[in-house]
Amino acid sequence: MSGNTIIEAKGLELWYGDNHALKGVSLEIPENRITALIGPSGCGKSTFLKTLNRMNDLVPGVRIEGQLLYNGEDIYGPDVDVTRLRKQIGMVFQKANPFPMSIYDNIAYGPRTHGVRSRAKLDDIVERSLRDAAIWDEVKDRLNKSALGLSGGQQQRLCIARALAVEPDVLLMDESTSALDPISTGKIEELALELKNRYTVVMVTHNMQQAVRVSDMTAFFLLGELVEFGDTERLFSHPRDKRTEDYITGRFG
Amino acid sequence: MNEAILSKEAGAKVKTAAKTAKNKKSGARGALEFTMKALFLICGLVAVGFVLIISVYLIVSGIPAIREVGLLEFLGGTDWDPANRSGDPSFGILPMILTSIYGTAGAIVIGVPIGFLMAVFLSKVAPRRLAAVIREVVDLLAGIPSVVYGLVGMIVLLPAIRDLFGLPAGDSLLAAVFVLAIMILPSIISVSETALDAVPREYEEASLALGATELETYFRVSAPAAKSGIAASVVLGVGRAIGEAMAILMVAGNVANMPSLLSSVKFLTTAIAGEMGYADGLHRQALFSIGLVLFLFIMLINAALNLFLKRSKEGQA
């Protein structure tokens, strides 16, 4: 069932100072699928996610070796335009982080940054992004109100809309439902399933039921290593590695 | 059985005794506590008392001259010639009010952009060690006595302005504006930097993850999020500039002309500092009135400052 590979890691190594956080990770992330990254805290899954849009560049003392290809091009190549890369690979964070601005300006921020000035065009992008993130009906009458007045779940969907507004190909979700109640979580999971028709989604999750519910592929990380990667259904029903089995049956983590 | 009851009673007695002793001890400590609290209260009241006394004193001693000259004539008159012995003194302080306002505005126009960019640099861009060094230097700048600013301005700035514009002397509003701009830098830098530091990192990460560059992020996300604190730094700078006397006394020329950039001017503050030594009679009283006007300006500025600081706190909560 796996489609074209959009992101491919080959022997990826990462150090934070002396801390060897990723050890020879190799995997292929298929296009238009949801790939879940699971594993106990500190296993490297979030670190791996953040290498994909080079957000790890912001951490002082970080060092990366190995290859990470996006559509065949090295993400860490010398002439990669990081701002363009981040436009193509969007990100939604663990904690909803709308800017302290109006809902409209939150969504319009990305397009404006990338040079869209026309009001009509921005109006169009704002509406489309909010519709795509399934929050348009809840906010259409208050676009000029502060985004900080929304509930936690709404804020997170707003952040998804904000990420979609720059028309990315890939959406990274870093435990994006972990701070939300079950109903909001359900809405975002539904949304993710909807989004995979047009985007590739890579999500870090602590919640194994969530990985089972929404993802097509699952990668299990432990202590910086990729232990097992495969079809979600297969990985959870017939784990090939003893450590995967121990983790998914709740024996540790 | 009996014995047990007895010993229990004895035990209770001992306990009571111990309790009394404890109470006594806590009584002594309580007294100390009370005295210290009273002392703190008195110290606090002293500060409040001084503000009250100064306010009352300024109002009481500032009003007679205004009454004699007439409020409109005093605030709106363009001629300040208080020591005219030929019998026709005039007491218009409009030139000085305008000079103080223009001088402060000029200092803000020059000082705020520099101070703000410096704060962005220190808070977001500069390597940590370099930022620490610069911060030390900025603190030092804040600690330099204003008379030294005046001295340097006199020796460096005045000849430069004189030569650049071909004037007979460099003493001018322009010189005062430059000196004030440098003097308000430290407060603008440190208050703006504190505000920028308080911007949650999550906002900046969100912006970077959308493909904004770091500079775009600082100017379009961090600075707007810190705007109340930055506004507070500007108001603080205004307060500093409008209240400064010594440094500008040495570079402004001290002639009560209607202000223009290259002419000698007299500020509200420098009028008081410069003339009190020889003034008497109505002239002396008029200087107190100038003090009152200045005081009202500062009260207004402080009210604005408190408003911005409060908003800045609420914005972060």
Question: Does B158 reside within a domain?
Answer: yes
What secondary structure does DSSP assign to B176-242, as a single string? HHHHHHHHHHHHHHHHHHHHHHTS-HHHHHHHHHTT--HHHHIIIIIHHHTHHHHHHHHHHHHHHHH
Q: A89 to chain B nearest CA, in Å?
A: 8
Beta bridge partners of B81: B90
Q: Are B170 and B157 in contact (CB under 8 A)?
A: yes
Give the per-residue pLDDT at A252: 67
Question: Of B69, B86, B111, which marks where a domain is finished?
Answer: B69
B212 close to A (CB below 8 A): yes
B52 and B140 fall within a common domain = no
Asked if the structure places residue B81 within a domain, the reply is no
- Note whether B231 and B285 are same-domain residues: yes
Evaluate whether residue B76 is within a structural domain: no
The reply to whether B183 and B54 lie within a common domain is no
Residue B266: the pLDDT is 94
Nearest by CB to residue A97, choosing from B202, B213, B224, is B202
Chain B residue at shortest CA distance from A113: B212
**CA geometry: angle B138, B143, B147, nearest 5 deg:** 120
Helix (H, G, I), strand (E, B) or coil at B136: helix
The verdict on A76 touching B (C-beta cutoff 8 Å) is: no
Nearest to B265 by CA among B275, B276, B253, B274: B253
- Name the domain count of chain B: 2
The distance of A92 to chain B (nearest Cα, Å) reads 8
Please give the full DSSP string across B43-83, using - where no structure is assigned: HHHHHHHHHHHHHHHHHHHHHHHHHHH-HHHHHH---EETT
The reply to whether B144 and B262 lie within a common domain is: yes
CA separation for the pair A228, B84 (Å, rounded):
97
**Measured between beta carbons, which residues in chain A are less than 8 angstroms from residue B206?**
93, 97-99, 159, 162
- From the number of C-beta atoms within 10 Å of its C-beta (0-12, 13-18, 19+), residue B16 rates as exposed
- With respect to residue B199, please indicate whether it lies within any of the assigned structural domains: yes
Q: What is the dihedral of CA B64, B259, B299, B280, to 10 degrees?
A: -30
CB-CB under 8 Å, B210 with A162? yes
Contact status, residue A36 vs residue A211, Cβ threshold 8 Å: yes
B251 in a structural domain: yes
Give the tens place of pLDDT for each residue, A20-73: 999 999 999 999 999 999 999 889 999 999 999 999 988 888 999 999 999 999
Query: Are B43 and B136 within one domain?
Result: no
Q: What span, in angstroms and rounded, lies between the C-alpha atoms of B312 and B304?
A: 12
Question: What is the rounded distance in angstroms from the CA atom of residue A163 to the CA atom of residue A133?
Answer: 10
Q: What mean pLDDT is predicted for residues A216-243? A: 94
Residue-wise pLDDT for A190-229, tens only, equals 999 999 999 999 999 988 999 999 999 999 999 999 999 9
Give the nearest partner residue to A113 out of B205, B212, B224, using CB atoms. B212
Q: Which residue has the tokens 């200092």?
A: B107
Domain presence at residue B85: no
Task: State residue B3's pLDDT score.
Answer: 44
Mind listing the pLDDT tens digit for each residue in A64-109? 999 999 999 999 988 899 999 999 999 999 999 999 999 999 999 9
- Split at pLDDT 50, 70, 90, the class of B193 is very high
Please report the DSSP string for B83-107 in residue order.
Answer: T-TTS--EE--HHHHHHHHHHHHHH
Answer whether residue B246 is part of any domain: yes
Among B31, B54, B69, which residue terminates a domain? Answer: B69
Which residue type, as a one-letter code, is found at position A134?
Answer: A
Q: Does A118 touch chain B (CB under 8 A)?
A: no
Residue numbers in B near A97 (CB within 8 A): 200, 202-203, 205-206
Copy the structure tokens of residue B307.
């408003």
Is B53 in the same domain as B196?
no
Cβ distance A166 to B210 less than 8 Å, yes or no, reads: yes
Using a CB–CB cutoff of 8 Å, tell me whether B11 touches chain A: no
Is A100 in contact with B208 (Cβ distance < 8 A)?
A: no
Indicate whether B186 and B312 sit together in one domain: yes
Pick from A56, A87, A92, A109 the residue to mutate for testing the B interface (most B CBs within 10 Å): A109
In this model, does residue B16 exceed pLDDT 70? no
Q: Would the CB atoms of B200 and A58 count as touching at under 8 Å? A: no
pLDDT tier at B317 (50, 70, 90 boundaries)?
very low
| Alpha-carbon span B204 to B129, nearest angstrom | 22
Q: How far apart are CA A66 and CA A47, in angstroms?
A: 15
Q: From the CA of B154, how many Å to the nearest CA of chain A?
A: 46
Proportion of chain B above pLDDT 70, given as a percent: 90
What per-residue confidence (pLDDT) applies to A100? 93
Give the minimum alpha-carbon distance from A212 to chain B in angstroms, rounded to a whole number.
27
B224 and A95 within 8 Å at the Cβ level: the answer is no
Give the residue from B125, B204, B210, B312 with the most A CB atoms within 10 Å of its CB, the best one to mutate.
B210
Instruction: List the CATH number of the domain containing B304.
Output: 1.10.3720.10
Domain extent, residue B250, equals 94-316
Residues B164 and B40 both lie in one domain: no
B303 shares a domain with B219: yes
| Bridge partner residues of B254 (DSSP) | none
Looking at the structure, tell me whether residues B59 and B99 fall in a common domain. Answer: no
pLDDT at B309 over 90: no
What is the tens place of the pLDDT at every residue in B85-99? 777 888 999 999 999
* Burial zone of A21 (CB within 10 Å; 0-12 exposed, 13-18 middle, 19+ buried): buried
Supply the pTM of this predicted model. Answer: 0.82
- Nearest beta carbon to residue A110 from set B203, B205, B211: B211
B67 half-sphere exposure, CB direction, 13 A CA radius: 6
Q: Which helix (H) or strand (E) holds B301?
A: helix B281-316
The token duo for A212 is 């089972």
Does residue B88 belong to any structural domain of this protein? no
Residue B166 and residue B54 in one domain: no
- Number of A:B CB contacts under 8 A? 63
A118 bridge partner residues = none
A196 contact partners, CB below 8 Å, separation of at least 6: A32, A33, A34, A216
Q: Please give the backbone phi and psi of residue A134, each rounded to the nearest 5 degrees, phi first.
A: 55, 40
pLDDT for B315 equals 57
> How far is the C-alpha of B77 from the C-alpha of B93, rounded, in Å?
6
Tell me, yes or no, whether B244 and B134 share the same domain: yes
